[in-house]
Amino acid sequence: MITKIDHIGIAVRSLDESIPYYEKALGLKCEHRETVESQKVSTAFFHAGEVHLELLEPTSPESPIAKFLEKNPAGGVHHIAFATTDLPGQLKQASEAGVKLIHEVPFEGAAGKMVAFLHPKSTYGVLTELCAPKA
C-alpha cells in the first residue's frame, strides 16, 4: 500500500551551488548528504513538512542524472517517490497492470531505503520511484 509521497527527486548540476537556494531563499535545512555509488549520484535531503526533497548531482558522465541534465540543462524535477509498506508487492501490482519496471528487484538507495523505479514510458512521463525502509 502506498502511504505518502516520500520525496521529490530534483536533478542539479551542483549540490554546493543549489543547496544555498533551498537554505537561504526557502529557509529549509539540509538534513543529510550521501553519495550513492550504484546510481553515480551525490544526494542532499531537505525536509519540507512530511515530504523530503532529494537533490541529485551526477558523480560521473554515465550517471542517469548526467543524461537527464544533457536533456534539461537547467536541471529540474527528476522523479517522484512513493513510500510503500510492501515494495515487492507494489512492484508485482504495477507489473501485472502492464507497467514496465526499470528494476524488477529493489536495490539499496539513499537514506537506508530499498528502492525500485517504474519506467516513465509506462507512467505518463513521470519517472516513479517506490521506496520502503530496509527490512
Where do contacts with Zn ion occur on this chain (CB under 5 A)? 9, 54, 81, 129
Largest alpha-carbon pair distance within the chain? 45
Nearer to Zn ion, 9 or 58 (CB): 9
Return the amino acid letter for 125: G
Select from 109, 129, 120 the least CA-distant residue to 4: 129
Place of cell 525502509: 133
State the minimum distance, in angstroms, from the CB of residue 101 to Zn ion.
16
Q: Residue 71 has what DSSP assignment?
A: H
List, in sequence order, every residue forming a beta bridge with 15; answer none if it has no partner.
Answer: none
Residue 9 or 75 with smaller CB distance to Zn ion: 9
What lies within 8 Å, CB to CB, of 21 at 6+ separation is none
**Cβ distance 46 to 24 under 8 Å?**
no
Nearest approach in angstroms of CB 98 to Zn ion is: 23
Q: Which residue, 57 or 129, is less far from Zn ion as judged by CB?
A: 129
Least distance between Zn ion and beta carbon 84 (Å): 13
Nearer to Zn ion, 54 or 57 (CB): 54
Question: Grid coordinates standing for 113?
Answer: 531505503
Shortest separation between residue 9's beta carbon and Zn ion, angstroms: 4
